[in-house]
Amino acid sequence: MYEGRQLEPRVVLLSPGPYSPLYFEHAYLASYLGYTLVQGSDLLVRNGSVRLKTLEGLQPVDIVYSFVNAAFLDPLELRRDSFLGVAGLVGAMRAGKVSALNHPGCGLLENSGLMAFYPLLCRELLGEELLLPSVATWWCGQAEERKYVLEHLNELIVKPLQRSWKEPGVDGSLCSRAELEKLRRSIETHPEGYVGQERVEFSRLPTLGMDHLETRPARLRTFATASPDGYKVMPGGLARAVPPGGGMDISGRGIPEAARIA
């Protein structure tokens, strides 16, 4: 603990704010874990350290639990047009003045390309099999896997490894023949940049529409926390349903087009 700090570390959960479709999730986690829910404008970096703006003045921050996209985390070192992050935050992390959860760069572990190698990685690194199977994934950088994906384009979800809002995943079963051919050419040109995944059907839940009940695909998101006795599942969870006309987009982050998923 740094000199002059309180005995208990101050942890803040950094969220993009209420316009984020995941904001309710951030508020739930912050409330349950006892962290202060903040946006970028609630923090500043002074003398290399992160401070929280409060009515009692600036308070030191020890740990930042970030849910802001890494590219928007610090307008001084990353995207200069960002209003979501904190100027100087990356420098404070680099200097060891603040600890970070979801450190910039850790999103690499969520890359869909790694999913094709989860079973092998688990055996090589941990000496055991996966306890839960992952979604079947084929990386197109391998000849046999690429052949399988190209032969089953109309049955699979195809995702570019460097996804953006402009280029999300594509549900081949919802594509026209021309769209499938365009996708085929893209894979053949840059096969290392794509994966194919099996199409998983989501459970359906009754939801309240404008004036009637309707069923929509949904998934349940639960959380677990680490403790000295192992991981413990937190009580409750969040059910997220596809918005009207949203195809299979359950995240709510993409443009609601039928052939696009998150």
Q: Which CATH code fits 11-109?
A: 3.40.50.11290
Q: Quick: pLDDT tens for 85-125.
A: 999 999 999 999 999 988 888 878 878 888 889 989 999 99
pLDDT band at 132 (very low <50, low <70, confident <90, very high): confident
Order across the sheet with 156-160: list the strands: 137-139, 194-198, 156-160, 169-171, 260-261
Mean pLDDT, range 157-164, rounded to an integer: 81
pLDDT reported for residue 105: 85
Residue 260 has pLDDT above 80, yes or no: no
The DSSP annotation for 86-137 comes to -TTHHHHHHTTSSEEES-TTGGGGG-HHHHTTHHHHHHHHHSS--SSPPPPE
Domain residue spans of the chain: 11-109, 112-198
Mean pLDDT, range 195-220, rounded to an integer: 85
Mean pLDDT, range 249-257, rounded to an integer: 41
pLDDT band at 5 (very low <50, low <70, confident <90, very high): low
Mean pLDDT, range 135-162, rounded to an integer: 93
pLDDT reported for residue 133: 83
Order across the sheet with 63-66: list the strands: 36-38, 11-14, 63-66, 99-101
Residue 257 has pLDDT above 60, yes or no: no
SS3 49: strand
pTM surpassing 0.85? no
Q: Quick: pLDDT tens for 168-193.
A: 678 898 899 999 999 999 999 999 99
Dist CA 13 CA 64 (whole Å) = 6
**CB distance 153 to 184 below 8 Å:** yes
Angle (deg, nearest 10), helices 143-151 and 177-189: 170
Q: What is the assigned CATH class of domain 112-198? A: alpha beta
pLDDT reported for residue 1: 44
Dist CA 86 CA 66 (whole Å) = 11
